[in-house]
Every structure is written in structure tokens, then in C-alpha cells.
Structure 1
Amino acid sequence: MAIMRREWSHYVRLLLWGLLLCLSLGIAIDEPAWVITAGLSAYVGWTLRQTYRLHRWLYKSPEAGTPPPESKGLWGDLFDGIYETQQHHAKAQKRLQDLVNRIQQSSNALHDGVILVNARGEMEWWNKAASRLLGFHENRDRGQIIYNLVRQPEFKRYFDNKVYEDPIEVFSPEHPNLRIQFHITLFGENERIIQVHDVTRLYQLEQMRKDFVSNVSHEMRTPLTVITGYLETIEDNLDTFPKKWHRSVRTMTAQSQRMESLITDLLLLAKVETSEKAQTNRIAQIKPLLESIQQDAIALSADKGHDITLNIECQSAFLGDENQLRSAFSNLVFNAVKYTQASGRIGLRWWSDAKGVHFRVSDNGPGFDPIHIPRLTERFYRVDAGRQSSVGGTGLGLAIVKHVVINHDGELEIHTAPGQGCEFTCHFPLFRKINDLSLGSKRQSA
């Protein structure tokens, strides 16, 4: 409908001309007041009628899109303007609805789940994959808080912390054999989009790899022990062998010892990876543990003459597995001893603050390029393969450290630069600090 819009001044002029006409007619019959009153009354009556027609059209029309009543002047323009606005709004609404429908259809075609959650944690929408993976039902679960349906405590902590840089993996509440990965993205007013991936296959492959490494390591230990035993016997009687065999026997002995160290680290890593969470809820006395590691590091340093200092600023006990902590902390300290030049400085520090409990190993060794940090805790990853071999490392130490720290709900932070030394810091949550030893004993017995 084409609309001819007139300026507001046009209607003001019409009103003034009407008043002037009434005034002229009233003067002609010598009743100007009555004529003006009658004219204004007629105009008010006509306006009320148009208002009634507008109200009936807006609220009592039998169906949407009904054309407006016919009218003239100002009210005609109003009717037509409102109708045009309704038409534009209906078209925009249809475009938006078509877009929403297409987004929902494309989301339903995905193999991964997508869930839309409001600021209160209530589920507003999800696709078919989310229903399949998590067992959600359209009518029953809409408006439910998501962590009331996904009842794993680690998911609840992940959801509430609002730190979503890394995804989290849990088992599906609907299918216990499915391993599900959640990745949350914040938008708007604390609203969330949750992506759900089925990582069961990857999880099973990882478990197979762990089992394979563990089983092979166990199977290799027995023949290696036999070989090492015979080599030790040969070394004890090496003088009875021709000299050309001496070097070969010593090389075999060194390599068998290196292989034994590798198998020991592989078994330790497998044990740390598969250890239950309950093992980290014991009481660990950190002061004697770190003092023992410091003495071992001094003995390992031998002729290098390292200055190894220990600073314990927090005397409280710690909620954790002491054997795992010894493995992790000693790996960090012994690495510093191996790679720091003679007469170098190595610092061990244990402290706590409002953010948690921390252990740091720092040195003034050669350091390395920070580009290696993201891969440094991978199994067998080496910054410098030649240097690593020369000091007898297995390439598993930092992988063990990473898993121990993860088992204790912490994270490993690494800082280094060429020529500026290295700094490895283990950050643990504050709840693992035990000020009341009697409370810790209760937790341990529980």
C-alpha cells in the first residue's frame, strides 16, 4: 500500500482553517462561541470514533494482517503507517524465524551436541545429538539446570569456575560406556553455549596405549633382570675375559641400566596415570620430604659443586600422595642438577598464598627456547636429544610431573629463556593445605 505522508504543519493549517471558518460562520449569525464549540465537539467526536476504530482493528481483528479501516486525513495516515510498520515487522519476524529454523536444522544435523544455557544454568535449547549423547527429553528437561542432569562433581566445578580454556571429559549420564567431552563458551550476560563431543574412541585408544605400555614394561622387566644379572656376573670376572670384550661388556651394562631406568619410569608413569583420586587424600609431610630431596640432589651434584638452597615458608601439612609428590618434586630437582653448569645455583621454594600452595624449582642454567614449553611434558620429547642422551635422561620425567600435579588438582607453570635459566612451578589449590592436623587425620581415616 502506497502511503502519501503529509507534514504535521499541513494538519495544523487545516485545523486553523476549520476554526477560522467556524469563527466566520459564528460572526455571520452572531453566535461565534456556540459555533466554535459545536465545531470542536464535532471534531472531538470524530476523533473518538477513529480511536475506537483503531482500537478494534489492533486488538479485535479476526486474523493478523487484516487491512486497516479506511479513513481520511491525519487518522488515515496513522492507520496506513501502523499497517506498514506491521507488515515490515511481520516480514522481519519471518526472516528471523526462517534463520532460526535453518540454524536449528543445521545444528540438528551435527554429530556433536550443542546446548544453549542461560545465566542461571537453565537449558533453553539443545540439538538432537545432545539428546542422544546425554539423554535429554524436549518436554521434560527444558528449563532444567544442566548440572542437575549431568551430575558429575567435576562438571559442576568446571561449569561454575567460568574458566573454559580447556575442555573437560566425563562419562555420559545416559550411557555409562560413552566418554563425553564438554567445551563451554561464554557469551552475552553470562549465557553459555556448550559443545558436546563423543570421545569414546579416543579414550579407548588412550586406555589401550596405557595398558600396552604398562604390560610391555612388566614383560620386559623379567628378561632385563636376567640379562643384567648375567652382565654383573661377567663384570665381576671380567679379568678372565680377553681385553677386546671389556669395552663391549661395559657398554652392554650401561645400556641395560639405562633400559631399566626407562622401564621403571614407564611403570611409574602408568601407575600415576591410573591412580585413583582417593590416593591423593592422604597426609603428606612436606618439610621432611623436601629436605630429603635436597640431600639427594646434593649427593647427585657430587663434584659439580652446585649451591642448592631450600626455602620452606609454609609449615602446614599437605593433602596428597607423598610417593607421587616425591617422584614429581625429585624429577624437577634432579633435572636442574643435570642441566645446570658446575657451581650453578638451584633454588627450592615451598610457600602458600591466597591463590593456593606452590612449589618452585629455579636454576641459573643455560635454559632453552620457550617455543618448546607446550610440548615439554610429552613423553620422550627432548629439547636437545644429544644433550638429553649425554646425561642419561629417559624423557619421561616431566610427563610424570604433569600427571602428578593433575592428580592433585594443580597445574604446572614453566618459564625459561636461553641463557636465563629455568623455573618450574607446581600450583596446587588452597584446600590441599592442612592447618589443622587433626582434621587431616579425620580425612585420611575417612
Structure 2
Amino acid sequence: MQHSWSRYLRLIIALLLGFFLVGLWFGYPLVGLTLGLSVYLVWTLVQARRLHHWLQHPDDDDDAPGSIGLWGEIFDGLHRMHQAHQHSRDLLQTRINRVQESTNAMRDGVIMTDAEGNMEWWNWSAEYLLGFRRDTDRGQPIHNLIRSPAFKAYFDARDYRDPMDLKSPAKPHIHLQIQISLFGDDDRLIVAKDVTRLFQLEQMRRDFVSNVSHEMRTPLTVISGYLETLSDNMDDAPPRWRRAIGTMSQQAERMEALITDLILLAKLETGEQHIDDRVTDVGALIRQICSDARAVSGENQHVIETDIGERHHLFGDENQLRSAFSNIIFNAVKYTPAGGNIRVRWYTDREGAHMSVKDSGIGIDPIHIPRLTERFYRADPSRHQQTGGTGLGLAIVKHVLLNHDGTLEINSHPGDGSEFICHFPRSRITEAPIETA
């Protein structure tokens, strides 16, 4: 490049010197020099105009304008850059087209928006599942097309660890699972999956469990009534009859507890049970449950301690909270060896309110903890056979906490006991109601 520039500079000097000598021959050296500079300036402007026209309309002629000297090398360099740019653009466009074609082949809806939620691109499945229109919806805020407060809250929360369920705004019979991911400059990639079949299967399961539970309650009530009558008149019966009827009575009670839990869980899952939010004295509730737990402990003589903080009023459904807390506390009694310690604590902090139940039992292997709230999941089936557990208690706890915007934390290791903590948000903490005269 340095050699080309030197040669080009020598040509310019030779051109000007030639015009100068011609002018000197005619007796006007300055006029000759000025004329040479003018010719060079006009030639330079012509080359600049050709460059500008080519840059403004590169598709009119793929080849750069031809020239000599420095301008020729500039045109050649720009032409090579233009060719490389076109090659990269074509390669990138090919990849984009392939990604779009493969995305359009997906059954899941895929939508890309900017940080504000303005629609940038979506595939064909998104048009079918969500009713988008390619000719009018591009650039529209997605909140104008999916008019759901829950979706807007999920979109703005930026906490996308868990998906959300949503009915299709265009086809209400379609149930969707929405998952959002962040990419680029806070842009969003939204995936909408059709889970209608799973929703229907889950609904069928719930209806089946609910219906069967209700149908079983009537014959079981009759059986329990006759067993109770037989138990009251067994003074003269043979011992083996008394043992048989006693065993049947125990199993009938266990079946009744199972059916009661199934019906309660079905109501919690389907939302049939109305949430009666009111100010609840959690301190008094925990003390009452602990008193019942001491009675259940009986000869096992568990040491049950309570530690209730000053702010012990919660806005929630007292019956549901009673069910959740009693399940956790009674489980601690059932699975803690005789003479063990159980500490029930209620406290508040900057994060919210918390109810902790810590026991000195044999503990649970951490591998089982993620599944403990599943229906009928048993970390140790033999323990449930001995204690008569239904396997539904922690599932009920999970749904009660969901109804109260809370979460369940489980900490346990074999040999170190277990701790179950119910977390409630600060918005649920309240003051005692003012008594009116």
C-alpha cells in the first residue's frame, strides 16, 4: 500500500509539473498549474461521485467502478469487502431461514419479543395456538394480544424458573403451558406448549378420585357403624372374634382417614373449597394443635416445646392452616421415637412469617425430599404401615401453602432429625383485630 501511494503521488506531481511546463512554454506558468489542479480536482470529484453512486446502489452493478491509481485500489478493496459482506449476509440469511423453517415445523408456539414485550417474530404454531395474525400483529405489545393479568405479572416478574398455565385467548378449550427465557438485551423468548391432553387426563384423575372417595364414604360409614355395634357387644364373644373385629375397626378408621384426606385434597386442587381469608391467631392455633399432639403422643412421652413470636396473627383461612400445621406436627409425633424432642416455632423476619417444626427423629434421606409432597409417595413404606399414614398429609400441606402464597422447606439428614418450615410472605402478616364493644 505504501508503494502504491508513493507511485500515485509521483503521478500527481508529474501531471502538475507537465501542466506547469506547458504554461511556462506559453508564458503563463501559474495558469498552467491552476489548470492542472483543476483537472485533477474534476477527475477526483468524478471518481468520488462514481463511488457514492455505487455505495448508494450496490445492487445495480455488483462490480465496483473501474479506475486507475489510488482510486482503482480503493474501488478494488471496497469491491472485495462488498463481496465478503454479501457472502456473510447470504450465509447468515440461509441459517436464519433454516432456523425459522425448523421453528415453524415445531408444534410448540415460539414467540420473540423485545424487553418491552413488543412482538418481533413468531412461528406458525403460535398463530394457531394464540391467534396471532402475521400481517397486523408485528410490533404490537404481546399484552394487547394475551389479555391475562396473570400472564402480564409473570412476564414482568422476570422469575421464569417455573412455567405458568394459561388458556388460549383464541381457543379457550386449549390449555397452554408458557415458559419464558431471557436473551440478548433483555429480550424474551416465549414458548407456548399445548398441554390440553395432560390437563384433561389430570382433570379425569381428580374427578375419579373425588367421585370414588364420595362413593366409598357411604358403605364405609355403614361398615364402621356395624363394627362399632359389634364392638359394644363383644363381652361374651370368643377372643379371636374380638381380635378380628378390633383389627377391622382399626382398618376402617384408617380408610376413613384416607377418604377424608382424599376429599380434602381434591377440593384444594380443584378450588372447590372456598378460602375464607380472615385474621387468624396462629399462636393460639399452634398451642391447641400441640396440646392435641401431646395427647396423641400418650405413653411415648414426647417433649413438645413451643416458641411463639410476638407477631402471631396471619391473614388466611384458619381451617386450612389448621389442617396444614396439624399434619406437620402430628407427623413429627408419629415419626419421632418415644421420648424424643419436638420444637414448634413461629417467628417473623424481613422475609415474612415462618412456622418451623423440628424433631429428633431418624431423619430422611435427602434423595426423597423433592418428592415428599407427592400424593402417596413414601420414603419408607414400612414406617407408614406402622403409623397408619395415608401418604397425603404433605400433599395437603403443599396445596394449603399455595393457597396462602407460601412455600414448604424441608431439611433433613438420616440420624439428625427433620425440620419442616412453612414460609409465608410479609403481605400475610397482620395485626390482631380490634375488638368492638
The TM-score with structure 1 as length reference comes to: 0.89
Report if the CA contact (8 A) 2:361-2:417 is conserved: yes
Q: Distance in 2 between matches of 1:117 and 1:22?
A: 61
Q: Which amino acid aligns with 1:58?
A: L
Q: Which amino acid aligns with 2:55?
A: L
Cα distance in 2, alignment partners of residues 208 and 25 from structure 1: 99
Residue 83 (structure 1) shift: 2.0
Partner of 1:356: 352
Local SS of the residue matching 1:357: strand
Cα distance change of structure 1 residues 42 and 172 upon mapping to structure 2, 3 Å threshold? same
Contact in 1 for aligned 2:359/2:418 (Cα 8 Å): yes
Q: Who is 1:336 aligned against?
A: 332
Moved more, 138-147 or 39-48: 39-48
1:9 to 3, 9, 12: 3
Task: Return 316-325 or 381-390, whichever deviates more.
Answer: 316-325
- Equivalent in the alignment of 1:52: 49
The structure 2 residue matched to 1:132, chosen from 128, 133, 143, is 128
User: For the residues of structure 2 that align with 1:252 and 1:316, how far apart are their CA atoms?
Assistant: 42
Q: 1:64 Cα deviation (Å)?
A: 4.0
Pair 1:247 & 2:246 matched: no
Distance 1:184 1:346, change over 3 A: same
Does the 8 Å CA contact 2:104/2:124 hold for their aligned counterparts? Answer: yes
Q: 2:210 aligns with which of 194, 210, 214?
A: 214
Identity within the alignment, %: 52
Superposition pairs of residues 46-445 of structure 1, within 5 angstroms: 46-59=43-56, 63-275=59-271, 279=275, 281-315=277-311, 317-435=313-431, 437=433
1:126, 1:91 → 2: CA distance?
A: 27
Provide Cα deviations, 1:201-227, integer angstroms capped at 9, x if missing partner: 111111111111111111111111111
Amino acid at match of 2:422: C
Kindly tell me the number of residue pairs found equivalent between the two proteins: 432
Q: In the superposition, relative to structure 1, how do residues 65 and 165 fare at CA in structure 2: closer, same or farther (>3 Å)?
A: farther
- Taking structure 1 as reference, are residues 427 and 115 closer, same or farther at Cα in structure 2, changes over 3 Å only? same
Query: How far off its partner does 1:98 sit?
Result: 2.2
Which letter maps to 1:270? Answer: A
Alignment CA distance shift 1:178-1:60 (3 Å): closer
Deviates more, 1:226-235 or 1:303-312: 303-312
Question: What is the aligned partner in structure 2 of residue 441 from structure 1?
Answer: none
Asked whether the 8 Å contact 2:258–2:390 carries over to 1, the reply is: yes
Structure 1 residues 243 and 299, CA gap change in structure 2 (3 angstroms): closer
Change (3 A) 1:16 1:76: closer
The 1:104/1:414 distance shift into structure 2, 3 A limit, reads same
SS for the counterpart of 2:214 is helix
Shift of 1:40: 4.5
* Corresponding letter in the other structure for 1:260: E
Question: Structure 2 counterpart of 1:349, which letter?
Answer: R
Secondary structure of residue in 1 paired with 2:231: helix
Matched to 1:318, the amino acid is: L
Check the 8 A contact 1:280/1:407 in 2, yes or no. no
Q: Distance in 2 between matches of 1:204 and 1:297?
A: 40
Match for residue 40 of structure 2? 43
Q: Is the 8 A contact 1:65 1:87 kept in 2?
A: no
* CA distances 1:114-161 after superposition (whole Å, capped 9, x unpaired): 111111111211111111111111233222222332222222222122
Shift of 1:318: 2.1
Deviation of 1:280 after TM superposition, in Å, equals 5.3
Q: Distance in 2 between matches of 1:64 and 1:432?
A: 69
Aligned residues of 1:23 and 1:35 also touching (Cα < 8 A): no
Q: 1:306 to 1:278 in 2, by over 3 A?
A: same
Deviation at 1:333?
0.8
Counterpart in the other structure of 1:4: none
Please state whether the residue corresponding to 2:120 is helix, strand or coil: strand
Deviation at 1:36, TM superposition (A): 5.9
Shift of 1:418: 0.9
| Separation in 2, partners of 1:124, 1:436 | 51
- How far off is 1:46 after superposition? 2.4
Q: Distance in 1 between matches of 2:21 and 2:432?
A: 103
Q: CA deviation at 1:403?
A: 1.0
Q: Which runs of 5+ in 1 are unaligned?
A: 1-6, 439-446
TM-score, normalized by length of structure 2? 0.91
Contact 1:348 1:359 in 2 (8 A): yes
Q: For the Cα contact (< 8 Å) 2:8–2:70, is it kept in 1?
A: no
Q: Distance in 2 between matches of 1:260 and 1:395?
A: 14
Runs of 5+ in structure 2 lacking a partner?
none
Deviations 1:398-417 (A, max 9, x none): 11111111122222111111
Q: CA deviation at 1:429?
A: 2.5
